[in-house]
Amino acid sequence: MIYLNQAASTWPKPPCVLQAQASALSAPPAGQFRGGAADGTGVMDECRRRLGTLLGIGDSERIFFSSGATDSANAVICGLPIRGRRVLATQIEHNSILRPLMNRKDRVGHVDIVPCDSAGWVNPKDAEAMLDENTAAVFVNHCSNVTGMIQDVGAIAEIAHSRGALLVLDCAQSAGCIPVKADAWGVDALIFTGHKSLFGPQGTGGYYVRRGIPFAPFRYGGTGRDSRQLTYENGDYEYEPGTQNLPGISALAAGVEYVLEEGVENIARKEQALMERLRKGLQAIGGVRLYGDERCAGPVLSFTIEGLRPADAAYILEGGYHIRVRSGLHCAPLIHSAMGAGNLGTVRASVSSLNTEQDIGCLIGAVREIVKSLEDAHEDRR
Q: What is the CATH number of the domain that holds 338?
A: 3.90.1150.10
Q: Which of 262, 285, 314 is the last residue of a domain?
A: 262
* Alpha carbon distance 26, 97 (integer Å): 36
Residue 149 within a domain = yes
Q: Is pLDDT above 80 for 224? A: no
Q: Which residue has the higher pLDDT, 218 or 323?
A: 323
For residue 38, pLDDT beyond 60? no
Residue 290 has pLDDT above 60, yes or no: yes
Pairing of strands 346-350, 63-66: unpaired
- Range of weakest confidence among 144-148, 272-276, 364-368, 374-378: 374-378
CA angle 126, 129, 132 (to 5 degrees): 130
List, as one string, the DSSP characters of 330-353.
TT--THHHHHT--TT-EEEEE--T
The values of phi and psi at residue 60, to 5°, are -70, -15
Q: What is the pLDDT of residue 375?
A: 83
Q: What angle separates helix 246-262 from helix 15-26, to the nearest 10 degrees?
A: 160
Output the pTM of the full model. Answer: 0.94
The pLDDT value recorded for residue 21 is 96
97 and 165 both lie in a single domain: yes
Same domain, 254 and 302: no
Is the same domain home to 157 and 256? Answer: yes
Report the domain count for the chain: 2
User: What is the structure's pLDDT at 376?
Assistant: 77
At 378 the pLDDT is 64
Query: For residue range 41-58, what is the model confidence (pLDDT) as tens digits?
Result: 799 999 999 999 999 999
Vertex 223: Cα angle to 218 and 228 (nearest 5):
110
Tell me: the pLDDT tens digits for 142-190? 999 999 999 999 999 999 999 999 999 999 999 999 999 999 999 999 9
240 lies in which domain range?
Answer: 15-262
Long-range contact set of residues 365-368: C-beta below 8 Å, sequence gap at least 24:
366/317, 366/320, 366/321, 366/323, 367/282, 367/285, 367/288, 367/303, 367/305, 367/317, 368/285
pLDDT above 90 as % of the chain: 87
Instruction: Please return the burial class of 88, using the count of CB atoms within 10 Å of its CB with bins 0-12, 13-18 and 19+.
Output: buried
Residue 10 lies in a domain: no
Look over the chain and give the mean of its residue pLDDT values, rounded to a whole number: 94
Residue 8 counted as domain residue: no
Identify whether the C-beta of residue 191 lies closer than 8 Å to the C-beta of residue 99: no
327 and 239 belong to one structural domain? no
Residue 368 lies in a domain: yes
Task: Report how far apart, in Å, the C-alpha atoms of 163 and of each of 134, 138, 158, 327 are.
Answer: 9, 11, 9, 39
